[in-house]
Amino acid sequence: MTSAHPATPQGRPRSGPVREPSALTRNPRPSRALARTDPESESSRTPVVPATLPRLGAGGEGDAYLHGMHIVIAGGHGQVARRLGALAVARGDRVTGLVRNPAQLPDLSQLGVGGVVLDLETATTAAVTEALRGADAVVFAAGAGPGSGAARKDTVDRAAAVVVADGAAAAGVPRLLQVSAMGVDSVRDGGVPGGREEVFVAYLRAKLAAEEDLRARSGSGTLRWTIIRPGRLTDSPGTGRVRLAQSVPRASVSRDDVAAVLLALLDEPGTAGMTLELVAGETPVSRAVRELVEAS
């Protein structure tokens, strides 16, 4: 299926270099496992951006980012993923969400986000590579979700993350962000955190294994990765102010602010190779990211 990318919103000041978005390679005869949608093919609607989403540069900082990126989000219908997609579309990026269920595509379209139906639990590296080809960045935000058992924690939170990283490397995608979780170090070397249910421990083990897979790739290719470990996620309105470092005390963070940080990290290659923990704080998002780079 051939489709055009969402139109760049007008009237918004730009800074930094402007690049034409690279085109996603398309198979003129897509398989049933890989179906695409494009929001403009349904209507010319203006992307809907939730009012509670903080803009990059909130807190008095000026907007500073690259324009015209093509961002692919694995787990594109997730709560953080949809917030990230809306933010990216609003600033002029092209966004594609990878989803397992075709019924989720209209929700993405309402945000101006294109969609690819691809079950990452069963997809081959070749299929993932095709879906990612031409992207400037990939964000792995997929998860088995509440109510899933230990087996799906492994097939989604670990195995799907690995196949996305494999596909990104094969497709020549230069940037990858992986959403992990605070607390994964508690299961390192076979550790078992006290007071945690077996399924949650399996979740932490899967997330840690996915992280270790990325670290093992360091120096073996051109994929620049960053791992982000958010604290307990909330639906509170974002403040645009966070605490972001290699290690921070346990606390909560809004999904709005996680999305804003992900967008800022995509624009800062100086954070490549970092594993960062994120909770609510007092530092504006853009400054928090910039300070990490300056201190490295």
- Determine the pLDDT at residue 146: 81
**Cross-strand partners of 117:** 35, 99
Please report which confidence band the pLDDT of residue 196 belongs to, taking 50, 70 and 90 as the band edges.
confident
pLDDT of residue 62: 34
Position 60 pLDDT exceeds 70:
no
| Contact assessment for residue 224 and residue 271, using Cβ atoms and an 8 Å cutoff | no
Buried/exposed code over 155-170 (b: 16+ C-beta within 10 A; e: otherwise): ebbbbbbbbbbbbbbb
Q: Which residue has the higher pLDDT, 56 or 285?
A: 285
What is the pTM assigned to this prediction? 0.78
pLDDT band at residue 197, thresholds of 50, 70 and 90? Answer: confident
Is a pLDDT exceeding 50 seen at residue 96?
Answer: yes
Judged against a pLDDT cut of 90, whether residue 126 lies above it is answered with: yes
Per-residue confidence band for 147, with pLDDT thresholds at 50, 70 and 90: confident
Cα 257 to chain centroid distance, Å, stands at 13
CB atoms within 10 A of CB 70: 24
Count how many Cα atoms sit within 13 Å of the Cα of residue 183 in the half-sphere of its side chain: 20
Among candidate residues 100, 126, 104, the one with its CA nearest the CA of residue 113: 104
Q: How many CB atoms lie within 10 A of CB 265?
A: 26
- pLDDT tier at 138 (50, 70, 90 boundaries)? very high
**Chain segment 213-267, per-residue pLDDT in tens:** 999 988 767 899 999 999 999 999 999 999 999 999 999 999 999 999 999 999 9
- pLDDT at residue 27 in the model: 32
pLDDT at 10 over 50: no
Place of tokens 């990104």: 168
Is residue 163 within 8 Å of 121, Cβ to Cβ?
no
Q: Which residues have a Cβ under 8 Å from the Cβ of 42 and sit 6 or more positions away?
A: 109
pLDDT at 90: 96
Residue 3's contacts (CB-CB under 8 Å, 6 or more residues apart) are: 36, 37, 38, 40, 41, 114
**Residues 137, 73: Cα–Cα separation, whole Å:** 9
CB 111 within 8 A of CB 38: no
Are 130 and 164 in contact by the 8 Å Cβ rule? The answer is: no
From start to end of 208-247, where are the E strands? 224-230, 232-234, 241-245
Residue 176 tokens, joined: 């990858």
Say if domain 35-295 classifies as CATH 3.40.50.970.
Answer: no
Q: Considering only residues 6 and 25, tell me which one the structure prediction assigns the higher pLDDT.
A: 6
Average pLDDT over residues 143-170: 93
Residue 53 pLDDT grade (very low, low, confident, very high; cuts 50, 70, 90): very low
DSSP strand pairing (252-254 vs 232-234): parallel
Mean pLDDT across the stretch 47-62? 34
Q: What is the DSSP letter of 282?
A: S
